[in-house]
């Protein structure tokens, strides 16, 4: 698998989360020697945590300079020399040890350009859990017409990613949506596995606030002024 896919992780101030991602990665089948590029822009102890647990779990990782999320992802992607690139957020956890292997197999067998996964809340916030499930249902329906691989698990052919110009740098969020919709629906699938995230953004923005945020994003998906003028301070840390 190491000759087929490279993982890119954008990271900023994830000292409380990155250890769990590294552990999840270490438990994946055939992960040995698979390259992990971590684009870090942290001002906390994230880098020290990466070094400690990356070494403990015997992962093949490099830490490079990060930045805004699109820039961090694109910087990492520049160093990829495998046919496939997998972008994973720093707060992700997996519920199975075959997630990467199975999704890579699906990419190859179905000749896909892009693959995403459904999201699942891994803490005990039942409202957020239902919110994730509702989003998954809506996204499965809409993705038949407008592909959307959530950036937390964004699996793409490297060549196609570069052909499309990578993630757009002019937006501070929703870069995954803007790039996803450039892919052909016939070359996109949502896999059967889940990636796990916690409910911190639901708690930060409020449950109705988070729902309204997602609705506004979708409604204004083609409104250039909306994305340029908006305030992202309540979304990011």
pLDDT at 147: 92
Domain 5-229 grouped into CATH 3.40.50.11540: no
Q: For residue 234, what pLDDT band results from cuts at 50, 70 and 90?
A: very low
CA dihedral (20, 41, 190, 224) in degrees, to 10, reads: 150
Instruction: Determine contact, residues 198/131, Cβ cutoff 8 Å.
Output: no
Mean pLDDT (the chain, rounded): 86
For 154-193, write each residue's pLDDT tens digit: 999 999 999 999 999 876 677 888 899 999 999 999 999 9
For the chain, give every domain's residue range.
5-229
Sign of CA dihedral 101, 35, 184, 146: positive
Q: How far apart are CA 15 and CA 34, in angstroms?
A: 23
Helix, strand or coil, per DSSP, at residue 186: helix
What are the CB-based long-range contacts (under 8 Å, 24+) for 227-233? 227/170, 227/171, 227/174, 228/170, 232/172, 232/173
pTM of this prediction exceeds 0.95? no
Q: What is the pLDDT of residues 26-60, one digit of tens each?
A: 999 999 899 999 999 999 999 999 999 999 999 99
Structure-model confidence comparison of residues 126 and 52, the more confident one: 52
pLDDT at 50: 97
C-alpha atoms less than 13 angstroms from C-alpha of 193 in its C-beta half-sphere: 21
Give the separation between CA 179 and CA 150, rounded to whole angstroms: 10
Residue, of 51 and 224, whose pLDDT is higher: 51
């Amino acid at each position: 698998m190491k000759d087929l896919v490279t993982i890119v992780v954008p990271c900023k101030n994830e000292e409380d989360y990155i250890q769990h991602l590294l552990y999840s990665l270490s438990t994946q089948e055939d992960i040995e020697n698979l390259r992990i590029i971590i684009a870090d822009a942290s001002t906390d102890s994230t880098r020290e945590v990466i070094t400690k647990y990356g070494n403990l779990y015997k992962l093949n990782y490099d830490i490079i300079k990060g930045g805004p999320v699109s820039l961090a992802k694109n910087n990492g992607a520049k160093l990829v020399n495998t046919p496939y690139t997998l972008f994973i957020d720093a707060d992700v956890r997996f519920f199975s040890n075959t997630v990467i292997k199975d999704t890579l197999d699906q990419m190859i067998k179905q000749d896909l350009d892009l693959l995403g996964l459904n999201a699942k809340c891994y803490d005990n916030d039942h409202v957020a859990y239902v919110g994730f499930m509702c989003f998954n249902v809506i996204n499965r329906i809409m993705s038949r017409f407008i592909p959307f691989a959530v950036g937390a698990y964004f699996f793409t052919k490297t060549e196609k990613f570069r052909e499309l110009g990578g993630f757009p740098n002019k937006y501070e969020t929703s870069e995954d949506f803007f790039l996803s919709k450039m892919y052909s629906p016939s070359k996109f699938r949502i896999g059967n596995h889940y990636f796990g995230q916690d409910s911190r953004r639901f708690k930060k923005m409020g449950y109705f606030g988070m729902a309204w945020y997602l609705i506004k994003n979708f409604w204004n998906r083609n409104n250039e002024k909306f994305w340029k003028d908006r305030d992202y301070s309540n979304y990011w840390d």
